[in-house]
Every structure is written in C-alpha cells, then in structure tokens.
C-alpha cells in the first residue's frame, strides 16, 4: 500500500474548485474528469499573468508586448512538441479542441487525398468527434466507412480489425483510450497493420494524454488530436499533430490572416508550417495556459499519475462490483493494462439520468447519457450509462462518499419505481 497515499491529497489543494467549492453545506465531489478536468491555480495564475502583463497579438506588432506574447505562445507550442515527442514545433497546429483537430485532418487531408471506393476504418467505440467528420468526407468523396467491433470483454476486437483492414484502407482513425469503455487500444500493433496495408493512422488521444505517456514517434502514428481542457488546461485550446511532410502536402483548412505568405487579387500563397493551418488570431492566453498545465502534469510525473490512477480505479471497481444489478461496461482493470480511471455503468430498471441527478443533489458530479458514443451504446443495446471518471486528484474518501451516496440513490429509486 506504500504507493497508495501519494499525490492526490496534496495536489487537490492546487485546484481551487476542488478544494474550496461548496454546494450548500456539501463539499463538491467532482467525478467528471473525462468530460473536462479542473484547473490548478498555476494555470489560472498564468492566464491572469498573460492578461495583466503581456496581452498582445502574436506574430504581428514590432512592440515589446507582442514580442513577449509571441515568445510565450511559441514556447507553448514547443512544450506540446516535447509532451508528445513530435519531430518539430512545425508539426503542432493549435486548434480550438480535439474536434477541430480531427476536422482539419478530415477536411484538409481527407478531402484532398481520399478517392471513390477508398475505405476509412473507425471503431464502434469512437466519440462522435471521430465519426461525423469522416462521414462528411466519405459522402463528399464517395468513400466507405467500416467499423471495427468490440469483443466480449468490452475491448477492441482485433480479429475483426484484421479482417476489415486491406489495401483499400487509407486511414485507421481511432481512440487511444475509450471515454466510455475505458479500454486502451493496442496502437503499436494497429499502426503496424495499417502501415503494412499502406494506411495512415489518426489517434484520438483526448483520454490518454493526461494519464499515460503518449509518444507519436514510438507509436508511429500520422495524426494525433488532443484537447487542452482535458489536460488541466483551459477550454478553447487543442492541437493537431501530424508529420511535416503530410502537412506540407495538403491544403489549408481555413483561410484568412496569419496563414498566408502573399495575397494577390486573384490568388494567395501559404505561410510556412505551422501557420498555414492557423488562420486569424489564435487562442493566445489559452495556449500559454495549456503549456503551464503540461508543466504541472510533468512535475507530478505521468508514471506517478498512472500508478496512482490504477490503484484508485481498482478501488472503485471493487466497490462498484459489489452493488447488486449494477453492470460496468468495458474491461476490468488489471495491473499491467492502461485502463482509464473511469467506469461507465448501468443499473437494471433505473435510468442513469436519475442516478446522476440525485447524486448531483447530494454534491457528487458524475455524467450520464451516451457520452457522445451513440453507436457504442446502440451496439451494446443500452440507451445510456452513468459514468464516474477520476484523475490524480480523486481520493479514496471521494470514492467512499460516492459509493455511499450511490447506494442511497439506487435504494431510493428502487423503492420509488
């Protein structure tokens, strides 16, 4: 049990909303980190520092404020590069969120590259953000989307993937860690299969970046999408990573200021990477805030986070699996597996929205619904699930309180149904 006491209690103090927030007389227990993380004081202070001391537009004015803002903004890009082990800063495109990052890949790469009858391989566990952009392109370019299924353990069915990937497959686009099943997909194995068939791989890393080391070179992927707000950073900032060669070959996403080299009356030429993909004034404060968040996570250490989260996840599962008629979807945690620190579950004859609403009235924040994974829920034959999602700030006491209140809630709903 030696490693079980680490980080959580200490780190919670850094998060004003977690440490101070009261709902009536009840301290809030926030168990919705997969939807968005809370922000540590270091990030909030950095946002304030930017607006108070060096707010200016980037890459434009010749004055000192603009120079300082540009310097910090580009340092933020470099921080992301290091965080995911990219090859260069030019490969990091700032976006509003992961959804926008995937849309850039779909519109700039997909629309340019995909031909009639080409195939895109997705999985049934994808977030809508990694389905809808490809549907739009598939319709436009007359190509086909195939979905890899889920096995009985609630993990990706690798045999199904092997049977569906072929020389027509031009892209495998999938989630690293599922926001609903919690499973961690074997990306290296998938990348190998994709490359053997001449396909590129896009990784939706929304649920992995804050929990495990993600190394784009080691995984040998071609695109990665991330969201700052799931990494203890601000909302309104995310990023797309891709290889310089790919980004140089494909057309820009949006047109406007900043992304051009020269504009003539009849045509324009594009700026160097990464600016070619960043039209207009970017989210400067948010990018700088995200860099501070990454620094914060690095200081704790992803290994420490991962070790802690494995234990707290096991603890949650031990308690949840003792509740009668409660079913967790997705695989059970094991020590050698990077299962997400979350559990999506349903209780026979009780609607998950009712569970979440009553828990909310007791000061416990969880999520309910389809978690933007309608095809997955439909496939499992479930309308909705309740989802509790943790991170390194979650304590055993939080889980103890949650379990007590969940049992009260289920009993109440059983008696009144």
Ligand X SMILES: Cc1ncc(COP(=O)(O)O)c(C=O)c1O
Among candidate residues 206, 232, 365, 372, the one labeled active-site is 372
Residue with tokens 């950095």: 46
Segment (H or E) for 223: strand 223-227
CB of 102 to ligand X, least distance (A): 8
Q: Does 204 bind ligand X (CB under 6 A)?
A: yes
Measure the CA–CA gap between 216 and 72, rounded to whole angstroms. Answer: 24
Backbone angles phi, psi at 122, to 5 degrees: -115, 180
Q: What CA dihedral angle connects 289, 290, 292 and 295, to 10 degrees?
A: 180
- Which 368-407 residues touch ligand X, going by CB under 6 A? 372
369 strand-pairing partners = 385
Site residues (CB under 6 A) for ligand X, limited to 78-97: 97
Nearer residue to ligand X within complex by CB, 35 or 260: 35
Distance of alpha carbon 247 from alpha carbon 320, whole angstroms: 46
CA–CA distances in Å: residue 31 to residues 38, 111, 309, 341, 386: 10, 39, 13, 10, 11
Q: Which residues contact 140 (CB under 8 A, 6 or more apart)?
A: 111
Nearer to ligand X, 171 or 271 (CB): 171
Q: Check if the beta carbon of residue 369 is closer than 8 Å to that of residue 346.
A: no
d(CA 376, CA 382): 9
CB of 207 or CB of 313, closer to ligand X: 207
Number of residues that bind ligand X (CB under 6 A): 13
The residues in 313-372 that bind ligand X, with binding defined as CB under 6 A, are 372
Q: How far is the CB of 127 from ligand X (least distance, A)?
A: 3
Task: Assign 51 to helix, strand or coil.
Answer: helix
3-state secondary structure of 313: helix
With 0-12 CB in 10 A as exposed, 13-18 as middle and 19+ as buried, what is 280? exposed
Residue 127 vs 275, nearer CB to ligand X: 127
Beta strands, E only, 58-118: 92-95
Interface of this chain with ligand X, residues 126 to 165, rule: CB under 6 A: 127, 129
179 lines the binding site for ligand X (CB under 6 A) = yes
Candidate ranges 57-65, 148-156, 201-209, 292-300; the one touching ligand X (CB under 6 A): 201-209
Q: Which of 206, 329, 350, 386 binds ligand X (CB under 6 A)?
A: 206
Comparing CB distances to ligand X, the nearer of 127 and 310 is 127
- For the bound state, the minimum distance from the C-beta of residue 203 to ligand X, rounded and expressed in Å, comes to 10
| Stretch of 187-195, 200-208, 269-277, 317-325 lying at the interface with ligand X (CB under 6 A) | 200-208
Among residues 227, 341, 352, 391, the one that binds ligand X under rule CB under 6 A:
227
Q: Measuring CA to CA, which residue among 367, 394, 316, 345 is closest to residue 29?
A: 394
Interface with ligand X, residue 175, by CB under 6 A: yes
Candidates 98, 240, 259, 376: give the one binding ligand X (CB under 6 A): 98
Site residues for ligand X, 112-131, by CB under 6 A, read 127, 129
- Is 372 annotated as catalytic? yes
Which residues, 6+ apart, have CB-to-CB distance to 368 below 8 Å? 352, 353, 355, 356, 384, 385, 386, 387
For ligand X, the closer of residues 240 and 271 by Cβ is 240
Task: State in angstroms the smallest separation of the CB of 224 from ligand X.
Answer: 12
The residues of the shown chain that bind ligand X, judged by CB under 6 A, are: 35, 97-99, 127, 129, 175, 179, 204, 206-207, 227, 372
Residues labelled catalytic:
372
């Amino acid at each position: 049990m030696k490693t079980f006491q680490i980080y959580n209690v200490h780190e919670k103090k850094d998060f004003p909303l977690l440490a101070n927030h009261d709902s009536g007389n009840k301290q809030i227990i926030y168990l919705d980190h997969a939807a968005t993380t809370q922000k540590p004081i270091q990030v909030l202070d950095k946002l304030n520092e930017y607006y108070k001391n060096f707010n200016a537009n980037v890459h434009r004015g010749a004055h000192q404020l603009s120079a300082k803002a540009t310097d910090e903004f580009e340092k933020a890009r470099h921080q992301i590069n290091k965080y995911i082990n990219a090859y260069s800063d030019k490969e990091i495109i700032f976006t509003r969120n992961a959804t926008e990052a995937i849309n850039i890949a779909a519109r700039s790469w997909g629309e340019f590259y995909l031909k009639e009858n080409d195939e895109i391989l997705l999985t049934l566990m994808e977030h809508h953000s990694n389905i809808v952009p490809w549907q739009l392109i598939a319709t436009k370019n007359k190509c086909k989307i195939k979905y890899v299924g889920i096995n009985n353990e609630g993990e990706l069915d690798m045999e199904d993937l092997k049977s569906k990937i072929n020389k027509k497959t031009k892209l495998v686009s999938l989630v690293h860690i599922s926001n609903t099943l919690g499973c961690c997909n074997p990306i290296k194995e998938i990348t190998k299969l994709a490359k053997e068939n001449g396909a590129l791989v896009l990784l939706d890393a929304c649920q992995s970046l804050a929990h495990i080391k993600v190394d784009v070179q080691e995984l040998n992927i071609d695109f990665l999408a991330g969201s700052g707000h799931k990494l203890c950073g601000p909302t309104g900032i995310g990023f797309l990573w891709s290889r310089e060669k790919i980004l140089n070959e494909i057309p820009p996403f949006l047109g406007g200021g900043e992304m051009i080299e020269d504009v003539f009356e009849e045509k324009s030429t594009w700026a160097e990477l990464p600016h070619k993909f960043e039209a207009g004034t970017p989210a400067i404060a948010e990018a700088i805030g995200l860099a501070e968040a990454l620094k914060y996570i690095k200081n704790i250490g992803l290994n420490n986070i991962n070790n802690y989260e494995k234990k707290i996840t096991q603890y949650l599962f031990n308690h949840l699996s003792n509740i009668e008629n409660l079913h967790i979807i997705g695989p059970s945690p094991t020590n050698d597996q990077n299962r997400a620190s979350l559990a999506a579950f349903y209780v026979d004859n009780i609607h998950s929205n009712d569970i979440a609403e009553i828990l909310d009235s007791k000061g416990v924040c969880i999520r309910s619904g389809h978690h933007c994974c309608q095809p997955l829920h439909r496939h499992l034959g479930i309308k909705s699930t309740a989802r509790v999602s943790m991170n390194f700030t979650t304590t055993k006491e939080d889980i103890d309180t949650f379990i007590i209140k969940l049992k009260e809630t289920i009993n109440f709903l059983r008696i009144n149904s």
